[in-house]
Amino acid sequence: MAGVVSLVFGGQGAQRVGMGSDFVEAFPVSREVFKRASEVLKLDMQEICFTEDARLDLTEFTQPAILTAEIAILEALKEQYQLAPKYFGGHSLGEYAALVAAEVLSFEDALVIVRKRGQLMQSAVPAGTGEMAAIISENPFGDSFSAELVEHYDVEIANYNSPSQIVVSGKKEKIEKTLLELQKKFQDLRVVPLSVSAPFHCSLMQRIEKEFKEFLRAYEAKLNLERGQSVVSNATGVFHTPESLLDNLISQISRPVRWVENMGVLLKHSSEILEISPSRVLQPFFSTLGAQISSVFNIRSIKKSFLER
């Protein structure tokens, strides 16, 4: 797939037991990625990702686990198919995999950063007091619906995933009340509570931004900020700039993921887009914009993405 010019990476929620295991079995370069991750984090990443390990759903471990699986897949594809991407994007946590792929920061540094990010995000809100839920419609929402959610129901939009799917985030009682009212008022809406350990991408996360900023600034001198211009920002919807990259990553924790805008920017610049993720999560979002992208999440999916093209 020499024509691929954009890579996109899935985020938290894409994790699954066994993610990356077939690549580790088939490709030494993928096995080396898991080895490096285990050494950096002093954790057995194969045990966390490949077995029924409860840590896989704990944010502190989920984030480096997904990053490890995605980079293991990426390295195998680079070795086998000589990928030469020009642009990168990632959904929430996936933005860090995009930064690694774009050579903005090293894989090792990214592992440490996302583990700290996960620890802080988990600590921001007491367990069981926050919630996130996807709101899905058969038709595009429009700006008026988003505005009504924020103003009338007093909830925050965490993700603009597609024209017909948004995610709300906040305190559990507010989210549950909102979902009940929406289902009564709009018969064509489908609401799906998300299995997450904290309400991400909302103002409840602002209390950890200062500590994350101090932690992230320690890596500033090691970043290739110029390379960041090839990566779209969840926080702004457009490409990072060298001046804004760190601030964008800090504010990304509490601001909504502007994925619809990210997709639009990448489609404008790309003839082909490839998703790398433990599960096929981003492909359906692109399809709502009339765009067909390829997705690699296990070895079997390589055939459709590369060999049959």
> pLDDT for 189-240, tens place per residue?
999 888 788 899 999 999 999 999 999 999 999 999 999 999 999 999 999 9
Asked if residue 276 lies in contact with residue 14, where contact means CB atoms within 8 angstroms, the answer is no
pLDDT of residue 279: 95
pLDDT of residue 7: 98
Residue with tokens 């709101």: 135
Q: Is the pLDDT of residue 3 over 70?
A: no
CB atoms within 10 A of CB 101: 25
Asked if residue 96 lies in contact with residue 113, where contact means CB atoms within 8 angstroms, the answer is yes
Domains and CATH numbers, the chain: 6-124+204-307 (3.40.366.10), 130-196 (3.30.70.250)
Q: In what helix (H) or strand (E) does residue 89 lie, and over which residues does it extend?
A: strand 87-90
pLDDT of residue 151: 82
- Going by pLDDT thresholds of 50, 70 and 90, the confidence category of residue 141 is confident
- Triad 88, 93, 97: Cα angle to 5°: 40
Tell me the three state secondary structure of residue 129.
coil
Question: What is the sign of the dihedral through the CA atoms of 4, 295, 21 and 97?
Answer: positive
Helix axes 209-217, 107-123, angle to 10 degrees: 160
172/185 Cα distance (integer angstroms): 20
Q: Is the pLDDT of residue 309 over 70?
A: no
Q: Is 91 a catalytic residue?
A: no
The average pLDDT across 79-92 equals 93
Q: Is 92 a catalytic residue?
A: yes
The set of residues, in sequence order, having a beta carbon less than 8 Å from that of 198 and lying 6+ positions away, is 59, 121, 122, 124, 125, 127, 130
Per-residue DSSP letter, 16? -
Q: Is the pLDDT of residue 1 over 70?
A: no
- Triad 149, 153, 158: Cα angle to 5°: 50
pLDDT digits (tens, 9 = 90+) for 50-80: 999 999 989 999 999 999 999 999 999 999 9
Give every strand in the sheet of 190-193, ordered side by side.
156-162, 165-171, 130-136, 190-193
21, 201, 294, 305: which is the annotated catalytic residue? 201
Long-range contacts (CB closer than 8 Å, 24 or more residues apart) made by 147-156: 149/178, 153/177, 153/178, 153/181, 153/182, 154/178, 156/201, 156/202, 156/203, 156/256
Nearest to 89 by CA among 10, 21, 31, 166: 10
Percent of the chain with pLDDT over 70: 97
Q: Is the pLDDT of residue 10 over 80?
A: yes
92, 197, 233, 294: which is the annotated catalytic residue? 92
Buried b (16+ CB within 10 A) or exposed e, 192-218: eebebbbbbbbebbeebbeebeebbee
Q: Is 308 exposed, middle or buried (0-12, 13-18, 19+ CB in 10 A)?
A: exposed
pLDDT of residue 2: 54
Q: Is 82 exposed, middle or buried (0-12, 13-18, 19+ CB in 10 A)?
A: exposed
pLDDT of residue 135: 95
User: What is the rounded average pLDDT for all residues in the chain?
Assistant: 93
Q: Which of 156-160, 173-177, 293-297 has the lowest mean pLDDT?
A: 173-177
pLDDT of residue 146: 83
The average pLDDT across 107-116 equals 98
Q: Which of 8-17, 87-96, 178-187 has the lowest mean pLDDT?
A: 178-187
pLDDT of residue 12: 92
pLDDT of residue 97: 98
Question: Looking at per-residue confidence, does 2 or 21 come out higher?
Answer: 21
Would you give the end-to-end CA distance of the chain in angstroms? 8
